[in-house]
Amino acid sequence: MSHTQFALLSNQAIAVCGVFYFLALMAHLAEWAVGRTVPIDAIASGASTTTTVAAAEGGGTTVTDTLVDVDDDSADRMERFGRVGLMLTVVAALAHFVAVASRGLAADPVRVPWGNMYEFTMTGTLFVVIGYLALYRRYKLGWLAPVVTGFVLITLMVDVLLLYTPVVQLRDSLHSPWLIIHVVAAITATGAFTIGGMASVMYLIKARWLETDHTGDKAGYLARLPGLVQLDQLAYRTIAFAFPVWTFAALIAGPIWAQAAWGKYWGWDPKEVWAFITWVVFAAYLHARATAGWKGRAAAIIALIGLATLWFNFIGINFFFGSGSQHSYA
Amino acid sequence: MTDPSEYTNVRDRARSVAPLAPREFLRWSWRQLTSMRTALILLFLLALGAVPGSVIPQDSVDAVLSAQWRQAHPSLTPIYNRLGLFNVYSSVWFSAIYILLMISLVGCILPRTRVYLKAVRARPPKTPRNLSRLPEYRTLELDAEPSAVLAQARAALGGYRIDAHTDDAGVDSIAAERGYLREAGNLLFHVSVLIVLVGFATGSLFGYTGGVIIVTGGQFANVASQYDEFNPGSLFQVKNLKPFSMKVTDFDVKFIRSGREVGMAQDFSAGVDYSLGDDGKSQHTRISVNHPLDLSGTKVYLIGHGYAPDVTIRDSTGEIVYAGPTVFPPESTTFTSSGVIKVPEAKPDQLGFLGTLYPTYAFTMKTGPFSAFPDAKNPGLSLQVFQGNLGMDSGIPQSVYALDMAGLKPVKENGQALRLTLLRGETTKLPNGLGSVTFNGVDRFVKLQVSHNPSDWVALMGMILALTGLLGSLFIRPRRVWISVRRKGGRTLVEVAGLDRSAGGNLADELDGLTAHLEEKA
């Protein structure tokens, strides 16, 4: 295949993956729409649903009965929608991967697919999806599905509509092995921080919801979210993974490369400044989790501030500071 | 950084001590400063304080840009100046934030190191009487002898520090603990932050950076006077400049020809002959972006390039009064470049030229002359001519990129200020018999940055240590496990209990693994 054909393939694959992410999002929304009437323990206990629920809800017999009547069917459908959504996400991720890979193959000479913003966003979202799929089983991330697919779909739409660039060769300063080391680390950390941020959003939403006393609710999306402790743990684990990776990307690999390319390992370039800000905010997050009075909600808010600075750095810097940044290509 | 429980004590203490004696006050201030809450606030201030430096052009990052900004905002400039907003990262208030943060950090590391040094040698706590109260608790019955079970458990608990106990009732047990290095990682991380800061600071005190522009074919010797700009650290001594000399032999550049990044330099490199010392052997090498020349610690970077139009000027007598390339710094992405030519030798009057170079000359009625592409496909030179006194004898050093207009007046032709446009190889006569100008073509110049940072490796080592410590403090999971065994009805009753001492552990899984192992082996 020629370079031009690969470029074309990449453009088609990104459209295909967009469609599949959309379908996956729809399937997951359907899953949760159906799930509104399915009690939490319905799916977990499978065939013995009726008895479990009836036993659990000793008091409100009438309500319970109606729920149980619907639920055998709905629980099935909910599970099916969920499975379909997951499969569609996998298909979308494959198309996404093809789009990213062929983008790299489209350049002459062949290169890594993150030479500019369009490609960087494309690859970054792929890492979010891969992270989500990799952790899906271990952390039972079913509840995160609509968030992830929605986020990736919207980000890719913005990417294709606003940031699209034809394939071009790399700028001179990008000709370095550090392009792979520095950027892969940065994208990995960005993906993990993003998933951690999603868990923090859910934490805040669920905490607010619990405050208005829904402890008795046994159905619906928010009831089905993991408990606050688990959400907090998921956020902590992903961020604790992302933080050292980010440290390496922004404060070790970046400076080494900058030293070689620009003759200065740290020059307070806007992108460097914001990478530093992100680092400081997440450092604060890790400290806050260990501090009385800052645990839980405050920590979740700090994580979201950190995530905001990360994405602002990722996209905002280029729009607001443009040529003022030596990182204006990424 | 202080223990959370200690933090609460600080607050209680602060409330209980109403009239603060000076000593108490100092103690209280120190406690406040080193409390985790203060550290958190300082971290946020640091993040917040870094923001303006990315929004307002910084002198240290781009002096030209910040000068332009100052010109465009005359009313804000004095206020910003006073607030140090053009030099955020060396401003008093920014320094105050990070110095306070560092003090808070030291105040946290010291006591914690003391505590840790004691704890690191500590033995695992004795087996609690009632294991079932612990967060993780399992029991199982085995056929093997108690001593055999304990031996198996010891073998399975690799990496644990293990003590054997026998309580008053004669029940044998082992107490095991692991993860002592977590706190060491934590301390290493915080100490490393200080190392990085020290490396950063000494680098800017004892190092230097200098910039020099060399036209291809030109030479450079590493002495301060040969630099166009020289920024030594405040403790750098000029005699420490490494003796070397170099000659730029050629310059090679490729521009991207299509796409959104059209005209971007994709690959540029300069060939140099260099020699170390006063009479070292000359060696040839190529410098490009990402591939600086490293002369044992002093590094030469290629950071920019541009054109130097080669012009020959004759005066009214027909003498050649100026010949050779003149550096014209680029002003746009298509390398429209501008510069100044000063001809003090010209007679009868001195001559000055304000020039603009278009590497690929193009013209439309709407835009006037412009450069269509950064490469020198069809260079065109546009000159405004002035005569009079260049003011070069006044003793005040002049910029080579500007004309002192005080003693100059434009040369006119038919009542209009003269503007010459020359393509490569063309010669034009100046009016009134002032002489002629020949545009021979363009040479290239390179902008080199020479820098020496004696302690960049300190900062790098610090960062790597910090990362190592960070990994330890995040992923080493301190935990305690106790196993007690007793004989009961011909079988051995085994109790396994554990305590996770960090967040995010997976102690339950590990205990499940341990009991499975015992059931299988014992």
**Helix-, strand-, coil-residue percentages of chain B, each rounded to 5:** 35, 35, 30
The percent of residues in chain B predicted with pLDDT above 90, rounded, is 37
Widest pairwise Cα distance in chain A: 75
Among residues B135, B133, B143, which one has the least CA distance to residue B518?
B143
A58, β-bridge pairs: none
Residue-wise pLDDT for B212-221, tens only, equals 999 999 999 8
CB A244 within 8 A of CB B185: no
CB A221 within 8 A of CB A32: yes
Residue-wise pLDDT for B386-402, tens only, equals 999 888 887 777 778 88
Query: Which residues fall within 8 angstroms of residue A45, CB to CB, at 6 or more apart?
Result: A52
Using DSSP's 3-state secondary structure scheme, residue B119 falls into helix
| Residue A325 confidence (pLDDT) | 57
Among residues B484, B522, B480, which one has the least CA distance to residue B136?
B480
The identity of residue B265, as a single letter, is A
Q: What is the mean pLDDT of chain A?
A: 82
Where does residue B180 rank: exposed (0-12), middle (13-18), buried (19+ CB within 10 A)? Answer: middle
Mark which residues 54-113 of A lie under 8 Å from B by CB. none
Among residues B107, B140, B127, which one has the least CA distance to residue B38?
B107
d(CA A311, CA A281): 13
| Position A32 pLDDT exceeds 70 | yes
Mean pLDDT over residues B301-314, rounded? Answer: 91
Mean pLDDT over residues B4-33, rounded? Answer: 63
Tokens of B427: 């010669």
CB–CB of A263 and B209 under 8 A?
Answer: yes
* Domain presence at residue A33: yes
CB B384 within 8 A of CB B417: yes
d(CA B61, CA B66): 9
CB–CB of A287 and B467 under 8 A?
Answer: no
Asked which of B1-5, B138-142, B335-339, B433-437 is least confident by mean pLDDT, the reply is B1-5
Residue linked to tokens 């949760």: A32
Using DSSP's 3-state secondary structure scheme, residue B369 falls into strand
CB B216 within 8 A of CB B250: yes
Phi-psi region of B504 (alpha: psi -120 to 50; beta: other; left: phi over 0): left
Mean pLDDT over residues A214-226, rounded? Answer: 72
Residue-wise pLDDT for B78-116, tens only, equals 999 999 899 898 889 999 999 999 999 999 899 999 999
CB–CB of B61 and A268 under 8 A?
Answer: yes
Residue-wise pLDDT for B457-467, tens only, equals 899 999 999 99
Element housing B410 (H / E):
strand B408-410
| Residue B407 confidence (pLDDT) | 87
CB B458 within 8 A of CB B202: yes
DSSP per-residue string spanning A224-240: HSPPHHHHHHHHHHHHH
DSSP per-residue string spanning A86-147: HHHHHHHHHHHHHHHHHHHHHSSS---S-SSHHHHHHHHHHHHHHHHHHHHTTTTGGGGHHH
Mark which residues 456-495 of B lie under 8 Å from A by CB. 456, 459-460, 463-464, 466-467, 470-471, 474-475
Mean pLDDT over residues B179-183, rounded? Answer: 90
* DSSP conformational letter for B291: B
Burial readout A96-135 (b: 16 or more C-beta within 10 A, e: otherwise): bbbbbbbbbbbbeeebbbbbbbbbbbbbbbbbbbebbeeb
| Residue B421 confidence (pLDDT) | 92
The identity of residue B428, as a single letter, is T
CB A266 within 8 A of CB A253: no
* Domain presence at residue A329: no
Three-point CA angle A272, B304, A109, nearest 5°: 80
Three-point CA angle B251, B253, B259, nearest 5°: 170
Three-point CA angle B22, B28, B29, nearest 5°: 90
Phi-psi region of B174 (alpha: psi -120 to 50; beta: other; left: phi over 0): beta
| Residue B238 confidence (pLDDT) | 83
Among residues B294, B363, B359, B350, which one has the least CA distance to residue B321?
B350
B208, β-bridge pairs: B232, B452
Query: Given the DSSP bridges, would you call strands B320-325 and B361-364 parallel, antiparallel or unpaired?
Result: unpaired
B360, β-bridge pairs: B378
CB B355 within 8 A of CB B385: no
* Domain presence at residue A330: no
Asked which of B57-71, B72-86, B205-219 is least confident by mean pLDDT, the reply is B57-71
Supply φ then ψ for residue B212, to 5 degrees.
-145, 140
Query: Which residues fall within 8 angstroms of residue B466, CB to CB, at 6 or more apart?
Result: A247, A251, B188, B189, B192, B193, B195, B196
ipTM of predicted complex: 0.82
Q: Higher pLDDT residue, B474 or B262?
A: B474
Among residues B274, B322, B306, B314, which one has the least CA distance to residue B429?
B314
Give the helix ranges, DSSP H, for B145-242. 146-156, 181-206
d(CA A248, CA A290): 23
* Domain presence at residue A57: yes
Residue-wise pLDDT for B316-326, tens only, equals 888 899 999 99
d(CA A31, CA A34): 5
pLDDT band at B50 (very low <50, low <70, confident <90, very high): very high
| Position B4 pLDDT exceeds 50 | no
pLDDT band at A217 (very low <50, low <70, confident <90, very high): low
Rounded to 10°, the helix A61-106/A49-56 angle is 120
* Domain presence at residue A61: yes
d(CA B359, CA B380): 6
| Residue B391 confidence (pLDDT) | 85
Mean pLDDT over residues B34-53, rounded? Answer: 90
| Position B429 pLDDT exceeds 50 | yes
Three-point CA angle B148, B152, B156, nearest 5°: 170
| Residue A177 confidence (pLDDT) | 84
Residue B40's closest chain A neighbor by CA? A284
Mean pLDDT over residues A233-262, rounded? Answer: 91
d(CA A163, CA A174): 19
Entry pTM: 0.82
Residue linked to tokens 């009831």: A223
| Residue B8 confidence (pLDDT) | 44
pLDDT band at A304 (very low <50, low <70, confident <90, very high): very high
CB B303 within 8 A of CB B366: no
| Residue A184 confidence (pLDDT) | 92
| Residue B260 confidence (pLDDT) | 58
| Position A259 pLDDT exceeds 90 | no
Residue-wise pLDDT for A73-111, tens only, equals 778 888 899 999 999 999 999 999 999 999 988 887 788
Chain B CB within 8 Å of residue A270 CB: yes
Residue B264's closest chain A neighbor by CA? A171
Mark which residues 117-176 of A lie under 8 Å from B by CB. 165-173, 175-176
Chain B CB within 8 Å of residue A262 CB: yes
Using DSSP's 3-state secondary structure scheme, residue B252 falls into strand
Name which of B267, B290, B303 is nearest A176 (Cβ-Cβ): B290
Cα B492 to the center of its chain, rounded Å: 63
| Position A47 pLDDT exceeds 70 | no
Mean pLDDT over residues A209-227, rounded? Answer: 75
Instruction: State the residue range of the domain holding A216.
Output: 3-324
The identity of residue A182, as a single letter, is H
Burial readout B309-324 (b: 16 or more C-beta within 10 A, e: otherwise): bbbebbbbeeeebbee
* Domain presence at residue A71: yes
CB–CB of A259 and B264 under 8 A?
Answer: no
Name which of A171, A176, A284 is nearest B44 (Cβ-Cβ): A284
- Write the CA distances from A191 to A14, A145, B189, integer angstroms: 19, 15, 24
Mark which residues 269-308 of B lie under 8 Å from A by CB. 288-292, 299, 301, 303
| Residue B380 confidence (pLDDT) | 94
CB B264: neighbour CB atoms within 10 A? 18
Tokens of B75: 């009313």
Highest mean pLDDT among A70-74, A130-134, A295-299, B167-171: A130-134
Among residues B294, B293, B268, B272, which one has the least CA distance to residue B283?
B272
| Residue B57 confidence (pLDDT) | 85
* Domain presence at residue A63: yes
CB–CB of A255 and B200 under 8 A?
Answer: no
Using DSSP's 3-state secondary structure scheme, residue B169 falls into coil
What's the structural domain count of chain A?
1
Contacts of B259 in chain A (CB under 8 A): 165-168
Contacts of A328 in chain B (CB under 8 A): none
Tokens of A120: 């960087």
Select from B7, B38, B56, B61 the residue whose CB has the most chain A CBs within 10 Å, as the one to mutate to test that interface.
Answer: B61
Supply φ then ψ for residue B59, to 5 degrees.
-55, -40
Mean pLDDT over residues B112-123, rounded? Answer: 90
CB B144: neighbour CB atoms within 10 A? 17
Residue B189's closest chain A neighbor by CA? A244
Asked which of A39-48, B111-120, B207-216, B230-239 is least confident by mean pLDDT, the reply is A39-48
d(CA A318, CA B119): 49
The minimum CA-CA distance between B17 and chain A, rounded to whole Å, is: 22
pLDDT band at A214 (very low <50, low <70, confident <90, very high): low
Tokens of B209: 């950076």
Where does residue A41 rank: exposed (0-12), middle (13-18), buried (19+ CB within 10 A)? Answer: middle
pLDDT band at A63 (very low <50, low <70, confident <90, very high): very low
Residue linked to tokens 């993150």: A114
CB–CB of A263 and B299 under 8 A?
Answer: yes
| Position A46 pLDDT exceeds 50 | no
CB–CB of A256 and B40 under 8 A?
Answer: no
| Residue B250 confidence (pLDDT) | 92
* DSSP conformational letter for B122: P
d(CA B169, CA B148): 20
CB–CB of A175 and B268 under 8 A?
Answer: no
Say if residue B379 is preceded by a cis peptide, omega within 30 of 0. Answer: no
CB–CB of B289 and A173 under 8 A?
Answer: yes
d(CA B93, CA B209): 26
CB–CB of B51 and A273 under 8 A?
Answer: yes
